[in-house]
A = this chain, B = another copy of it.
Amino acid sequence: MALSTTTSLRKFEKSLPIALLRSREATTRLFKPFIDSHDLTMPQWRVLRALAEADALDAKTLAERCVILPPSLTRIFRCLTQRGLIAPVDCNDARRHMVRLTDEGRSLFEEVVEESEPTYQRLADAFGPTRLDTLLNLLNELRDTVQNMDAPLKDDTEPVRKAAASR
């Protein structure tokens, strides 16, 4: 099955963090104009996107899903709230800062999605919808794998394979 295992990569291209960075840079460049034209930053857009498929989320969850540190998220909350795109939600636990999309926020989200959909389709057509799906699954599974690797390093139940991990 000719699934992308034939290409020979230069050493530089075999670095996973760099390959992820470069692919992201290229992909982001495709979609960033749609975000920019609505005066949103990419982190702000990730927050809107995460909220669009959940009724309400707290800061901790958003920070994890959107890869945004708490201090940045505080600023983003302030900005998006001022613009009327998100609104606070009452919560049992008063420590938690939960927010949801306002109607205005949701319609802005849907506007951006609609505008960028043709470009996403062009990308899917050019790359191959099946391969795109495979890539998305691999990316999410890679993240799971790495996150499951983290835990054993913290205590001393680490398997210790070929050599001890340094630090």
Contacts and interface: CB of A to CB of B under 8 A. Distances in A.
Interface string A1-33: 101110101111111111111111111111101
- Counting contact residues on chain A (CB < 8 A from B), the size range is 35 or more
Interface string A123-143: 101110011111111111111
A161 B122 contact: yes
A142 B66 CA distance: 22
A42 to B, nearest CB: 8
A32 to B, nearest CB: 9
A14 B123 CA distance: 14
B118 A164 contact: yes
A145 interface: yes
Contacts of A82: none
